[in-house]
Structure 1
Amino acid sequence: MTYIPRHIERTPEMHPLTWRMRDDKQPVWIDEYRSKNGYVGAEKALKGMEQEEIVNLVKDAGLKGRGGAGFSTGLKWSLMPKDESMNIRYLLCNADEMEPGTYKDRMLMEQMPHLLVEGMLISAFALKSYRGYIFLRGEYIEAAVNLRRAIEEAKAAGLLGKNILGTGFDFELIVHTGAGRYICGEETALINSLEGRRANPRSKPPFPASAGVWGKPTCVNNVETLCNVPAILEHGVDWYKGISAGKSEDAGTKLMGFSGRVKNPGVWELPFGTTAREILEEYAGGMRDGLKFKAWQPGGAGTDFLTADHLDLPMDFASIGKAGSRLGTALAMAVDNEIGMVPLVRNLEEFFARESCGWCTPCRDGLPWSVKILRALERGEGQPGDIETLQQLCRQLGPGKTFCAHAPGAVEPLQSAIKYFREEFEAGIAKQHFNNARAIGGIQPNNLLKERW
């Protein structure tokens, strides 16, 4: 097909996250931001609403976490203690964004830093938090520079610091750059790292809402999640729910995109319910010339592969979940016919094995084990029972079997690749091993593993 770039006219009504963005992709600083209704939602919240009213508004709007889990933001906020004596509370923005193939938060922070500042200001007021931290991926140097400038501009305008907008509310906002660990995307590991500790997940309960940073009530939200808050305050619940396409149960818009060998890789703000095929073909331009579509991951490296049969699914949490995967970050990766699934999955599992914090045995030992088997299959030196061993590892590292969700997410691409492309894994088993297995009536996987490792 011939790719024709699609012009997208961004409007406040349909693109609350991106309509203010400049065509030259330069940052929108405070004067321009305020000229485009910037901080209108914050002024409405701080001057005319009670904190509980804001929490209920966000809950009623149906805003869900945009970091991958899709948990109700308003419900999460409501878990913060109501006890007025607990006057030290923290709001953390998870801006670590270490998921391979995901770059949506980076775009917001680099081009729209004041949108995140305003979102955190409103959220902090609703949560009665006096201090906020943006826990930023260390490699995002440009985002750090732009966020710090935006914070200084907001302070100079009386929108951060003491007695904001004359309301008596105080809020301090700090950018904290991380040292580069994927596990910091887990909120309690992020909290440990912020405190200067090793980035291991914490046991829950207690949950951060009751005992988070330095033992105080803490709420952790994703960048894109917080950036949705100002528009909800400005336009209301009915407007936000009305944006979604078709019969999607999810409200609002989502930053979605496609990477891989497509003609126009990128990220776009689209309503929930937009199909994956529309994003792939109309926005990403389809596969490059000479390549055929083979498979895709809906939302980052830690989501199950789906096939071309699933491209007409609406991009929302429920639809992708019913298909056996997760929406995740909604930044999809297209796999073409020239890419082998075994080396692709081996590459992903190497990343997840390296990024394991090593806290629990299944994750610490199980992921490297899967990498060893995949390397053997990739070399054509696999043995009978290897695929069954990989499937067993996927079960042993699944939900509820490990301390946190790192390992369950890590094995999702592996288990789905075997499900849909088993013949490619079987091709990595040496032919002489098949003959030996027939001759002796089968070989036990455990005995093979003892011989090899």
Structure 2
Amino acid sequence: MASNASLRYRCQLWQTARERQPETHPLTWRLREDNTRIDLDDYLAKDGYAAVRETLGQQSPQDVIETMKTANVRGRGGGGFSAGMKWSLTMQGEGIPRGYLVCNADEMEPGTFKDRLLLEQQPHLLIEGMILGAYANNSAYGYIFLRGEYVEAARSIDKALAEAREAGWLGTDIAGSGFDFDIALHTGAGRYICGEETALISSLEGGRANPRTKPPFPGQSGAWGKPTVVNNVETLCNVPGVMRHGADWYQGLSGERSDDGGTKLYGVSGQVERAGLWELPIGTPGQEILERAGGMRAGKSLKAWLPGGGSTGFLLPEHLELPLDFDTIGKQGSRLGTGLLTVVTEEQSIVSLLRNLESFFARESCGWCTPCRDGLPWTVKILESLERGEGEVGDLELLQELAGDLGPGKTFCAHAPGASMPLSSALKHFRDEFERGVSHPSRAAHEDPIPVGNV
């Protein structure tokens, strides 16, 4: 695991206060230049909780849902599903018990660190978003399910929750609206599978983090059998701006770049000059983000990149010109995912990098279904042999078959399909590197071994 110092560096937002304005940077305009937490007084001085005052008691929960649907706020955790549509499916009505709103802050996607910025420095924005989401979904209580290693984020959230509770923004009769809602912080035990919403719910209840059969979906029967909505940190942080300024404003933030609405926290990690984050209109091309990162480090050239974490497919340098939104990247056989680019240089071995990724996915499998439990370790063993130059004839075809068996619709949840995407794309774009790992009796002794890059 990376040290706190390195993680903090990677959470650097490379935009000055002058660049970040309320009209164009709803997620980050309040952030301080010294990267310290925004307390309640600072947040209130910059229109904090204004959306709660203006929405609760003045608009109906259905009004909030319709605004979110019109704004087209798509899930920022990687799935890209419409948050408003998701909320519209929550079971409500007479005789239906009030349920729960859960914030998925279990940020364990390889190469991803965007939520940490918001959790550490702007927790009140998340709390305000959760209040609005709870109002729309008739939720009685909220949970922030936080990655256990995010110790600084836990401290920040704890302080913000206490401040909000003392000031009356959490608890009974919020803003005189008659709406009651409170939030608890729950730190996880460090399992990637908790990014899957039903596994998260199982863990929150105190059970093993195994996914559940759907249907019923959490919106009908989730935590403790009650209607439950699970949203990502960045998704919820968009809600106050949408409710304050409206759906048309939110749609206008992306302009002509994308049909999706709003901004996105994009980032870059790897061999670039300035690893970090930027809040930009969704649909910003990858090339612009790479340029903001100062380009590749001196002497390094780009071979491939992952558009949004380890569970997305490899793309090539020519794909940098594409707008980074959900549908455009999906048409290239990858996913936008979390929108944080991981660059791969020419001297890095795709086989080694992939072995590293698949080892992570194999270790993080909950073991519930056979393709994932057995297929991922099998994939790792083959990749290890290829990495040593000891692969056998037929290994590449076997890897391709395994990738298909791990794909969508073949496993209990999306863990294995996520793991298969970088595998399938690597075999497609860099098959020659895999072939060099196959041992041939006639291979000349002077041939160079497969390169093992620093991944």
Q: Give the structure-1-normalised TM-score.
A: 0.93
Counterpart of 2:327?
318
Q: Quick one: distance in 1 between partners of 2:136 and 2:435? A: 55
User: 1:418 deviation in Å?
Assistant: 1.1
1:396 alignment counterpart: 405
* 1:328 matches 2:337: yes
Q: Which residue of 1 aligns with 2:54?
A: 44
Q: Distance in 1 between matches of 2:351 and 2:442?
A: 19
- Give the counterpart letter for 2:421 in structure 1: E
Q: Does 1:58 align with 2:68?
A: yes
Contact 1:245 1:274 in 2 (8 A): no
Residue equivalent to 1:297 = 306
Letter in 2 for 1:201: P
**Hey, what's the Cα distance between the residues in 1 that align with 2:142 and 2:214?**
22
CA contact (8 A) 2:391 2:438 kept: yes
1:384–1:434 CA contact under 8 A, matched in 2: no
1:86 correspondence with 2:86? no
- For residue 371 of structure 2, what is the aligned residue in structure 1? 362
Equivalence for 1:15: 25
Q: Secondary structure at the match of 2:268?
A: strand
1:118 and 2:143 aligned: no
Matched AA of 2:440? K
Tell me the residue number matched to 2:450: none
Distance 1:338 1:263 in 2: 17
Q: Deviations over 1:402-431 (max 9, x none)?
A: 000000100111111111111110111112
User: Which residue in 1 is equivalent to 2:317?
Assistant: 308
SS at match of 1:132: strand
Aligned 1:33-432 pairs, distance under 5 A: 33-281=43-291, 283-432=292-441
Letter of the 1:61 partner, please give it.
A
> Structure 1: which 5+ runs fail to align?
436-453
Q: Distance in 2 between matches of 1:247 and 1:106?
A: 26
Amino acid corresponding to residue 322 of structure 2 in structure 1: L
2:158 and 2:203 map into 1 onto residues whose CA distance is: 20
Determine the C-alpha separation between the residues in 2 that align with 1:409 and 1:434: 35
Identity %: 60
C-alpha distance in structure 1 between counterparts of 2:443 and 2:343, whole Å:
33
Deviation string 1:301-336 (CA, Å, 9 cap, x unpaired) is: 000000001010001011111111100000110001
- Deviation at residue 88 of structure 1 after TM alignment: 2.5
Separation of aligned partners in 1, 2:272 and 2:344: 9
CA apart distance, 1:6: 7.2
Report the count of equivalent residues.
430
Answering whether residue 37 of structure 2 is matched by residue 27 of structure 1, we say yes
Conservation of the 8 A alpha-carbon contact between 1:384 and 1:433: no
Deviation at 1:294, TM superposition (A): 0.6
Question: How big is each residue's C-alpha offset from its partner over 1:319-372, in whole Å with a ceiling of 9 and x where there is no partner?
Answer: 111111100000110001121000000000000000000000000000000100
Instruction: Report runs of 4+ in structure 1 exceeding 4 Å deviation.
Output: 5-8
Give the Cα–Cα distance (whole angstroms) in 1 for the partners of residues 75 and 129 of structure 2. Answer: 14
How far apart are residue 205 of structure 1 and its match?
0.5
* 1:386 partner letter: D
Q: 1:6 to 1:218 in 2, by over 3 A?
A: closer
| Deviation of 1:84 (Å) | 2.4
Which entry has the higher C-alpha Rg, 1 or 2? Answer: 1
1:170 and 1:370 map into 2 onto residues whose CA distance is: 50
Deviation at 1:434, TM superposition (A): 7.6
Query: Cα RMSD between the aligned structures?
Result: 1.2
